[in-house]
Amino acid sequence: MKSINSKELQKMAVAESSPLTTHVLNTSDGVPGAKMALSLHRLDTTLMIWSMISVGTTNEDGYCPGLISREAFIPGMYKLRFETGSYWEGLGKTSFYPYVE
């Protein structure tokens, strides 16, 4: 039987408490997409506009926990916006896409 270290336990706890998760991978360099800014939005169907709910930054493992609470995660249409241009610029590289939704 495999033992679970404290880092894995922390990831499991976050996953259980957050109804929405994301994981960014930098496949160009073969590493997690750390320190990427992102934002969570929900569509207001009455006004037909996207409302920003929260912002965050991916951690060293490419995860961004705690974007929304279970109580706030109501039925609807959501989108995540990843600031890919800024991410690549921070690595000294260029990007075709300034953001990805």
Residues 80 and 52: beta-carbon distance below 8 Å: no
Q: Residue 72: its pLDDT value, please?
A: 95
| Tokens 């499991």, residue located | 12
This prediction has a pTM of 0.81
β pairing state of 37-44 and 25-26: unpaired
Residues 87 and 36: beta-carbon distance below 8 Å: yes
pLDDT at residue 2 greater than cutoff 90: no
